């Protein structure tokens, strides 16, 4: 048995597993042609405009994935083999992470279980042939972590520069990875707790300046050109799902004049949506409808309703002719990515943000109830259920820790690695619960390292007792 375990934990077996993974995914899924180019979010990335710098800063998408798509389209105009590109990028990032974990002295069980945990995350398999941010964002995140570890533990300056570029690009593929920035700082602090030593002060200054300079420069440049502070003008759109769900006619008299007419029209739009999503929070409670289950079906409809109504009000545009009732549920009849790709989303996003804040303020108790339900039922329960088979595999993997229980200690960097992933998961849970809705897929990719690091951390504590 020890020989078999050593084989499983060896570098050669890791490489074999990566090759086997590539072959398996290639056989099971059609990676030659993207699953869809006209549905979902694909067109919003494909049609991203690079016409001028102002347009780049004012659209509702960040430039990261569109830039990758443009580079790929140069070689393959019809996006043939996009799935293979995703797969190769992903496997490369996984191997680099394994190399970094081993090189920086993490125990081979943690290094190997991290890689196997990533490869066995079965929920990822469906995303390789999609034109979306899930795989590309995760790949650049893993590459960022790898270079960060090499810099922190081996003091290699080149890795700090690479980390700065990679985390910048990662964030501008999927902006929610901005939550990892303070987590990296926390890890750095855990390894260098005495900040008043001269060498640590210099290291902090180097890290803080070099790792964040590109992000800060982009934000300042965007503030200058778009007049908006932030990464992208989309937070108002995302949070407007709460606006649509919470708004009630009897509250209109207490709404500001600039938002009143819009919210009145939005309530009318919500009431005319086809299906079960045409009720408010109050109506759902009266009818004993589970709020979290209802939102899991309707939050995206609520978001698009608010966005469509604001575009109609500001730009006099609708997906169908103005008298067509299909406009109330336009997403049921056609993909809206192209329609939503208006060149300037800044004002629309700011106005949605303003209206949402007003309605939430009038419904503070209801909003808090929504957030707390989302945190528990979605961020925790449904996420755990989504990876239940992976959890079972890791539970059976505890015998590996038992076999090696006398060969390792829970050192500072291992504790910090677990804490890094835990904090990242918690901040993602909070952000998505307060702003939009914590779908399981957000955590599948972005919290992919949580389970392996938790397994190693608590496994050690359990065996120690």
**Token pair 């090499």: residue:** 150
Q: How far apart are CA 458 and CA 272, in angstroms?
A: 51
Confidence bin at 107 (pLDDT 50/70/90): confident
Residue 401, pLDDT score? 65
User: To 10 degrees, what angle do helices 11-28 and 108-119 make?
Assistant: 0
* For residue 465, pLDDT beyond 60: no
Residue 194, pLDDT score? 64
pLDDT digits (tens, 9 = 90+) for 339-355: 998 878 999 999 999 99
Distance of CA 55 to the CA centre of its chain: 24
pLDDT digits (tens, 9 = 90+) for 187-232: 988 887 665 565 666 777 778 888 889 999 999 999 999 999 999 9
**What is the largest distance, in Å, between two alpha-carbon atoms of the chain?**
75
Mean pLDDT for the chain? 91
Q: Residue 363 in 3-state DSSP? A: coil
Whether residue 40 contacts residue 337, with contact meaning beta carbons closer than 8 Å, is answered with: yes
Domain segments of the chain as ranges: 2-229+374-464, 235-370
pLDDT digits (tens, 9 = 90+) for 116-125: 999 999 889 8
Identify the H or E element spanning 258: helix 257-271
pLDDT digits (tens, 9 = 90+) for 302-333: 999 999 999 999 999 999 998 899 999 999 99
Question: Six-digit token pair at 461?
Answer: 């504590």
Q: How far apart are CA 275 and CA 31, in angstroms?
A: 34
pTM: 0.94
Whether residue 339 contacts residue 333, with contact meaning beta carbons closer than 8 Å, is answered with: no
Q: Could you tell me the CA-to-CA distances from 427 to 15, 67, 179 in Å, in that order?
A: 33, 28, 7
DSSP secondary structure letters along 55-109: HHHHSSS-SHHHHHHHHHHHH-TT-TTHHHHHHHHHHHHHHHHHHHHHHTT--HH
pLDDT digits (tens, 9 = 90+) for 272-289: 999 999 999 999 999 999
Highest mean pLDDT among 5-14, 54-63, 188-197, 449-458: 54-63
Residue 345, pLDDT score? 92
Calculate the dihedral angle through the C-alpha atoms of 87, 74, 62, 134, rounding to the nearest 10 degrees: -10
Residue 460, pLDDT score? 66
Whether residue 263 contacts residue 355, with contact meaning beta carbons closer than 8 Å, is answered with: yes
Q: Which of 323, 279, 285 is nearest to 297 (CA)?
A: 279
**Token pair 């990296």: residue:** 184
Whether residue 177 contacts residue 139, with contact meaning beta carbons closer than 8 Å, is answered with: no
């Amino acid at each position: 048995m020890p020989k078999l375990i050593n084989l499983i934990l060896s570098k050669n077996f890791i490489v074999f597993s990566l090759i086997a993974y590539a072959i398996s995914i290639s056989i099971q899924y059609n990676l030659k042609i993207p699953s869809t180019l006209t549905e979902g979010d694909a067109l919003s990335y494909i049609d991203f405009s690079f016409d001028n710098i102002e347009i780049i800063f004012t659209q509702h998408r960040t430039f990261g994935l569109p830039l990758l798509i443009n580079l790929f389209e140069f070689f393959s105009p019809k996006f043939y083999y996009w799935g293979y590109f995703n797969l190769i990028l992903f496997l490369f990032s996984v191997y680099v992470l394994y190399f970094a974990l081993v090189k920086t002295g993490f125990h081979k069980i943690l290094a190997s279980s991290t890689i196997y945990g990533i490869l066995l995350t079965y929920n990822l398999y469906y995303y390789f042939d999609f034109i979306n941010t899930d795989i590309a964002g995760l790949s650049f995140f893993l590459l960022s972590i790898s270079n960060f570890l090499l810099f922190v533990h081996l003091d290699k300056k080149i890795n700090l520069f690479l980390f700065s570029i990679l985390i910048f690009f990662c964030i501008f593929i999927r902006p929610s990875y901005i939550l990892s920035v303070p987590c990296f700082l926390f890890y750095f602090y855990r390894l260098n707790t005495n900040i008043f030593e001269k060498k640590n002060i210099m290291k902090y200054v180097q890290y803080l300046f070099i790792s964040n300079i590109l992000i800060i420069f982009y934000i300042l440049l965007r503030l200058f050109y778009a007049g908006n502070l932030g990464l992208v003008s989309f937070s108002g759109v995302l949070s407007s799902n709460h606006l649509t769900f919470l708004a009630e006619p009897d509250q209109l008299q207490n709404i500001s004049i600039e938002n009143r007419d819009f919210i009145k029209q939005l309530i009318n739009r919500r009431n005319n949506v086809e299906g079960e999503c045409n009720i408010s929070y109050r109506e759902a409670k009266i009818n004993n409808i589970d709020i979290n289950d209802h939102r899991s079906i309707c939050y995206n409809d609520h978001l698009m309703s608010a966005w469509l109504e604001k575009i109609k009000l500001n730009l006099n545009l609708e997906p169908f002719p103005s008298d067509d009732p299909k406009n109330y549920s336009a997403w049921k009849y056609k993909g809206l990515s192209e329609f939503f790709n208006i060149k300037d989303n800044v004002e629309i996003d700011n106005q949605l943000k303003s209206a949402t804040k007003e309605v939430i303020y009038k419904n503070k108790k209801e909003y808090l109830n929504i957030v707390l339900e989302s945190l528990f039922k979605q961020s925790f329960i449904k996420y755990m259920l989504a990876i239940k088979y992976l959890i079972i595999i890791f539970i059976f993997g505890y015998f590996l820790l038992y076999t090696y229980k006398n060969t390792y200690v829970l050192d500072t960097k291992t504790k910090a690695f677990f804490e890094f992933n835990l904090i990242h998961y918690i901040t993602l849970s909070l952000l998505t619960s307060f702003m939009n809705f914590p779908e399981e897929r957000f955590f599948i990719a972005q919290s992919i390292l949580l389970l392996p690091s938790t397994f190693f951390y608590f496994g050690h504590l359990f065996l120690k007792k």
